Amino acid sequence: MSECVFCQIVAGTVPSQKVLDTERVLVFHDIRPQAPVHVLVIPKQHIASAHALQAEHATVLMDMHLAAQQAAEQLGIAQDGYRLVTNVGWHGQQTVPHLHYHLLGGRQLQWPPG
Ligand code: 5GP
Ligand code: ZN
């Protein structure tokens, strides 16, 4: 079995609170929310990070953005706006090595990030 926790969430062996489940993408609530709305948008296919993306991933990447848009509408944050971010590697503070966007909203977010 995969040691990747997000692959385990895709497989259903680790439970998650799903928001959206499409052919190639899963959206679920982050276990430690940092905003009133904080969900994760992941490809079902294991891709290590945004830095591992290749041209052949174009379809799944677009599907991730379409799922993020749909989740933002569904969760009521589309009108006021939101943040869609992906952390990469050590300095980026990526803790799960499976590509994911954080979709954050429901409050005024700060910029720049720490
Ligand atoms: P990163 O730190 O890699 O940018 O983001 C990983 C995110 O995954 C964190 O916000 C963390 O709270 C979340 N996370 C880690 N393990 C789990 C889990 O088992 N279930 C859920 N729903 N979120 C998780
Ligand atoms: Zn994975």
Residues 36-94 pLDDT 10s: 999 999 999 999 999 999 999 999 999 999 999 999 999 999 999 999 999 999 999 99
| Positions marked active-site | 100
Q: Which CATH number fits domain 5-105: 3.30.428.10, 3.90.470.20, 3.40.250.10, 3.60.150.10?
A: 3.30.428.10
Structure tokens at 27: 């959206």
Would you say the CB of residue 95 lies under 6 angstroms from ligand 1?
A: yes
Distance CA 44, CA 98 (A): 10
Q: Is the CB of 91 under 6 A from ligand 1?
A: no
Query: Does residue 39 contact residue 51 with C-beta atoms inside 8 Å?
Result: no
Would you kindly state where each structural domain of the chain is located, as residue ranges? 5-105
Residue with tokens 């259903």: 12
pTM for this model (two decimals):
0.98
Q: 38: which strand partners?
A: 104
Q: Are 4 and 98 in contact (CB under 8 A)?
A: yes
